[in-house]
A and B are shown apart, each in its own frame.
Chain A
Amino acid sequence: MARPRWLGTAAIYAVLTLLSIVWLVPVMTVVMTAVRPFAEIREGWWNLAGASLTLDNFGRAWQEAGLAGKTMNSLIITGFSVASTVAVGALAAYAFTRMRFRGRGLLYFLLITTMIVPVQIILIPLLPWFRALGFSEGSWQPFLGMVLVHTGFGLGWAVFMLGGFFASVPRELTEAGQVDGAGHLDEFRRIVLPLALPGIVSFAIIDFVFVWNDLLLGLTLLDQEHQPLTVGIANLQSAHLARQDVISAGALLAILPPLVLFVVLNRFYVRGLFAGSVK
């Protein structure tokens, strides 16, 4: 024991502090670029001499760059997709964890594959199919189509994660319910759903982040008027090569909702990830 213990601890703190600073640099960069006039940023955002604050960039991103409408689109798509995925996924997860039936293993396997297979595999046929179903035109139809596609793709995770939470609801409780003559639907609504509520919330948060952050589906399936915020940001990035201030403001707008959700519901989120990763 030549080396004192505190030396090792100090080294660990030093390494982690350094890494944390590196980890925060991109975030600092985007915040500073968004809230300061672009002329100041040219000297480097870390240069704080004579720094001034402005909300101009947000205004421009919101109006000129059209991110106001895209934010609305993202909220609509994400809100309904999460609700739909949770509802459809919870019913399915209940069937898989509480019932025995023919083809159970095969169906479970098929649904789970949506977790692994990249969206790209189905993208090319999906576009004409989307059109054939009438989802490519109209005011609300594209949203509906998008919600259904996201539901199809979120199912694997929903069945996997919600199934895990449902399985942790003690069977004795539900069996007692069945003796009382309660049907499966009653048991689902009155016993399993309330007891697994924390799990459902954590899945909803994860699905929210997932849908909100989708670029690929929004980019390929939707027209300008229905595209989500991610597509707006990506287009800005390629179109306005020298407008880093507006892009930064837009990127912050896109980052904030999942971040706020994460901070507010941190405990649920972490628990959901734990459930997903430990099993």
Chain B
Amino acid sequence: MQQAGRARAVPYLFLLPALAAFALFYLWPALNTILSSFFRWSVLSPWTVVDPGRWQFVGLGNYLEVLGDGRFWNAVRNTLIWLVIFPIVTTAFSLAVAVLVWETARAARIFRTVFVLPMTVSLTAAGVLWALVYNPDFGALSAAIGVVGLDGARLDLGPLHLRLGEWLSDVGSLSLGITQIPLVNLTVIAPAFWALTGFGVISFTAGLTALNPELVEAARVEGANAFQVVRHIVVPSLRPAMVIVAVVFVIYALRTFDVVWVTTNGGPGTDTEVVAIPPCCSAG
């Protein structure tokens, strides 16, 4: 009987360290976040769960305050830009790169390495690298645009106002009726796009390796062209990988603040501020 009791405890002993770390540094703070959101507190009189005497219950007051704050909605808009642009563009692009690299049997390893390497670069460093590329005085982007005579070019096309040159302050805007989209958000997204494309490439390459070559060969024999093979055989077989890659990118879009902080610090003004910028680091 005691033997059985001990045997039953064994799994929990294996789990004990994990559950302790999880409870102390994740669950407990998370519960505190939820609880404290219903109380009034500030930096000077912080909310504490162990001192009910100081609790000041405000119900949904904090939520209503945030919902009435224009700056919050500005950050929500920018986060939505991230959420729409980043996962879709990065997933589609890395899928295209993975398929193209797959077609080049001989140089595949070299190409793949080029796209995968930036994955090891932190988004902080990626932001630093791209700030150099974006530098209006000696950055490669302005120089490249200058070669075709477009540096400092302005383009006004209906709702679209494009400004080339000041890549991290004024890139123009796109009017959508209800809101103006500052295009500088796109130049802030680019470093993350550059760094994380590798994740998609690796994932899709894994899917492509698992693809049955006989199926592709059979389709070719039947007279399918390269585009049809990709469209009807390759892409469908990569659907599970696409879901995972897209989900990972959505998570990144939601939590990323490093790039924003390093490149523009949420600016100019609050044009690139996102919801995930922690209280310590917003431009104020």
Contact = CB atoms under 8 A, between A and B. Distances in A.
Interface of A: 8-9, 12-13, 15-16, 19-20, 23-27, 29-30, 33, 41-46, 87-89, 91-92, 94-95, 99-101, 104, 107, 110-111, 114, 116-126, 128-129, 148-149, 151-153, 155, 159, 184, 188, 209, 212-216, 219-220, 230, 233-234, 237-238, 244, 247-248, 250-251, 254-255, 258-259, 261-262, 270, 273-274, 277-278
A53 to B, nearest CB: 18
Nearest to B250: A116
A234 B262 contact: yes
B76 to A, nearest CB: 14
A273 B202 CA distance: 7
Contact of B114 (A24, A120, A152): A24
Contacts of B278: 120, 123, 216, 219-220
Contacts of A214: 122
Contact of A26 (B32, B133, B262): B133
A99 to B, nearest CB: 4
Which has the most chain A C-beta neighbours within 10 Å: B120, B202, B244? Answer: B120
B176 interface: no
B111 interface: yes
Contact of B203 (A215, A251, A273): A273
Given A101-B11, A114-B26, A234-B262, A244 B104 contact: no
A129 B140 contact: no
Interface stretch (B56-64, B66-74, B154-162, B253-261): B253-261
Nearest to B120: A258
Contacts of A262: 117, 119-120
B100 A118 contact: no
B128 to A, nearest CB: 4
A237 B11 contact: no
A205 to B, nearest CB: 9
Contact of A8 (B129, B203, B226): B226
Interface stretch (B16-24, B83-91, B178-186, B211-219): B16-24
Nearest to A270: B202
B120 A122 contact: no
B94 to A, nearest CB: 11
Contact of A16 (B14, B100, B126, B131): B100
A233 B133 contact: no
Contacts of B124: 213, 215, 230, 233-234, 254
Interface in B217-237: 226
Contacts of A273: 199, 202-203, 206
B18 A89 contact: yes
What is the size category of the interface that chain B forms with chain A?
35 or more
B245 A277 contact: yes
Contacts of B46: 128
A200 B107 CA distance: 30
Contacts of A9: 103-104
Given A26-B129, A41-B138, A42-B137, A254 B122 contact: yes
B143 interface: yes
B97 A19 contact: yes
Task: In the A-B complex, list the 8 residue pairs whose CB atoms are closest, starting with the nearest.
Answer: A213-B122, A125-B32, A152-B25, A118-B255, A92-B18, A122-B29, A95-B14, A277-B203
Contacts of A248: 128, 132
Contacts of B127: 237
A126 B278 CA distance: 13
Contacts of B121: 213, 255, 258-259
A169 B163 CA distance: 57
A123 B199 CA distance: 27
B136 interface: no
Given A16-B104, A23-B114, A152-B24, A233 B258 contact: no
